[in-house]
Amino acid sequence: MIEHPTGQMEAVISARRAGNDAVEVLGGGTLRTARKILSGEVFIPARVWGGRGAAG
């Protein structure tokens, strides 16, 4: 987990023991969602909205 002032995000690290108590890092990366966030708009999935018009 990587933490920063605005929250946290998942980190993925692949490693193995390399002998003499050493660890060899094979790879690493971060996980993130494909959701649209922080754009100043609200995104409502069609399955929730149901095609209804705006309330007036």
Average pLDDT over every residue of 13-26? 91
| Rounded CA separation 50/1 (Å) | 36
The answer to whether residue 54 scores a pLDDT higher than 80 is no
- pTM for the whole thing? 0.41
How much of the chain, in percent, has pLDDT values that exceed 70? 66
What pLDDT, on a 0 to 100 scale, did the predictor assign at position 56?
46
| Rounded CA separation 56/52 (Å) | 12
Could you tell me which residues come within 8 angstroms of residue 5 by beta carbon, excluding any fewer than 6 positions away?
none
What pLDDT, on a 0 to 100 scale, did the predictor assign at position 19?
83
Average pLDDT over every residue of 34-48? 72
